[in-house]
Amino acid sequence: MPQITFDFAKVQWIAFHWTNGAINVAKKPRVPTANGILLDKTSLAGSLADFPGETLLERAKRRNLIDVWTPVVKIVFTANKHLRFTGRRALTIWREWNRRQYNGKTK
């Protein structure tokens, strides 16, 4: 992947959100989700003969339906040019942007 360098002074705005591939939310859910739906740890799923007493969370884990939430940041520059970063890089850029915006610019 090529090295991308940009100047925060040329950034118009930055948008941050979490995505699971289909749904975008402002805050990452604190409980497990499947297709964006919050799963209760105690509620029972519909009974199956092979898995009696299975909860919704256990069934989602068994069927690999638990969402993986990924941070996404979209940086918009002048002339409506933009860059999009995901994962750890998105969190790093978001923290640096907030530090520069709310704590003053540093050298």
Report pLDDT for 6. 81
Please state the domain extents for the chain. Answer: 1-28+71-107, 30-68
| DSSP-based three-state secondary structure for 21 | coil
User: How high is the pLDDT of residue 84?
Assistant: 95
pLDDT for the residue numbered 43? 80
Model confidence pLDDT, tens digit, residues 69-101: 999 999 999 888 999 999 999 999 999 999 988
Burial 55-91 (b: 16+ CB within 10 A, else e): bbbebbeeeeeebebebbbebeeeeeeeeebeeeebe
For residue 107, pLDDT over 60 is answered with no
Nearest Cα to Cα of residue 18 among 86, 74, 69, 92? 69
pLDDT digits (tens, 9 = 90+) for 4-60: 788 888 899 999 999 998 889 999 999 999 988 898 888 878 877 777 888 888 889
The 3-state secondary structure of 37-83 reads: EECCCCCECCCCCCCCCCEHHHHHHHCCCECCCEEEEEEEEHHHCEE
Helix (H, G, I), strand (E, B) or coil at 13: strand
pLDDT in the model for residue 106: 53
What's the confidence (pLDDT) of residue 87?
A: 95
